[in-house]
Copies of this chain bind each other. A is one copy, B any other.
Amino acid sequence: MTETTSSPALRTALAYYQAWTSHDLDRAMSFVADEIVCDAPAGRLEGAGAYRAFMGPFVQILLESRLIAAFGDDQTAMIMYETRTVPVPNAPGAECLTVTDGKITYSRFIFDRAPFDAARAAAT
């Protein structure tokens, strides 16, 4: 795992990551600004409520995660991680986060929806 240390944005990003990967969504949301904007694969999410509704189901199916790399500077952090989930055994993600005053205000979120779509199709 690669990680830079002296970045305030990265400290927030890692605290958020540790929280949601520990299934503590409330704590994860404490690092998310009320007015967060997140550009996710399915489109733009606006506001903490929409973001929580996006992350909640994912946290519920999360079995395990491992940080691949994490970097940051004053305002921006980037993390990449593996996850193992109930429907998809290998589901990595990458997030580029803008952090202001200890809160994530913008997120660019990348993951591959294809294996989740395939698992959903197989289950129906």
Known contacts A113-B112, A113-B114, A114-B41; A94 and B80 CB within 8 A of each other: yes
Q: Are B41 and A112 in contact (CB under 8 A)?
A: yes
A82 CB to closest chain B CB (Å) equals 9
Listed A/B pairs (8) with beta-carbon separation below 8 Å? A4-B4, A4-B71, A69-B76, A71-B72, A78-B78, A78-B80, A80-B108, A80-B110
Q: Are A78 and B69 in contact (CB under 8 A)?
A: yes
Q: Are A110 and B94 in contact (CB under 8 A)?
A: yes
Interface residues on A, range: 20 to 34
Within 8 A of B (CB), among A87-124: 92-94, 96, 108, 110-114, 117
Which of B71, B80, B108, B117 touches A68 (beta carbons < 8 Å)?
A: B108
Q: Is A34 an interface residue (CB 8 A)?
A: no
Extra contacts besides A4-B73, A110-B111 (16): CB < 8 Å? A2-B78, A39-B92, A41-B114, A68-B108, A69-B76, A71-B71, A71-B72, A78-B94, A92-B108, A92-B110, A93-B110, A94-B110, A112-B112, A112-B113, A112-B114, A113-B114
